[in-house]
Amino acid sequence: MKNRFVSNLLLTLVWVALTGNFNFANYLFGFVLSFIILRVITRGSGTAKYFTIVPRIIVFILYFFYELIKANLQVAYEVITPHYRMKPGIVKIPLDVKSNIGITLLANLISLTPGTLSLDVSNDRKVLYVHAMYIKDRQDFIDSIKNGFEKRILEILR
């Protein structure tokens, strides 16, 4: 996987040097173009994890930005309206993620999203405690974390 990533970066740099345009959009285009070229070149050489993990990471980043914008709008609406719609609480979320990096990533993504804060992980690393501003139904909140961030983290780490 490392060799394909390095090859992708080198092809990206070659693209940028050949075009002479050093802006972010050209780097991004060069990366996508070299990814497609590498995918076509290595199509017959078996399955490569690199070609499945890069699209998953991109989908994961887009999903995080979607959740971030949605949470920001919800908190901003709460601040500018006179009504108190918050139902704060602490929720115990059972974890399917077992690795330290997965638990850390999940906890940090939850904390980065406005309205939620990761509080603690149990000693056996099977439960994450989260404080949230909006908990109408605890099971729905747990399901949204498990089917959102945790599911995508597991897809990337496996």
How many distinct structural domains can be found in the chain?
2
Check whether residue 65 and residue 24 sit in a common domain: no
Check whether residue 78 and residue 107 sit in a common domain: yes
Could you tell me the pTM of the whole model?
A: 0.78
Q: Give mean pLDDT, residues 96-123.
A: 93
Check whether residue 37 and residue 56 sit in a common domain: no
Please, what is the Cα angle at 94 between 156 and 147, to 5 degrees?
Answer: 45
pLDDT digits (tens, 9 = 90+) for 25-59: 999 899 989 988 888 888 766 567 778 888 899 99
* pLDDT score of 23 more than 80: yes
Please give the pLDDT value at position 127: 95
Check whether residue 22 and residue 96 sit in a common domain: no
Check whether residue 22 and residue 91 sit in a common domain: no
Please give the pLDDT value at position 116: 92
Provide, rounded to the nearest whole percent, the portion of the chain with pLDDT above 90: 58
Check whether residue 133 and residue 71 sit in a common domain: yes
Please give the pLDDT value at position 79: 85
Check whether residue 10 and residue 57 sit in a common domain: no
Domain of residue 62, residue span: 50-157
Q: Give mean pLDDT, residues 108-128.
A: 93
Helices (H) and strands (E) in the chain, counts: 6, 3
- Output DSSP code: residue 133: S
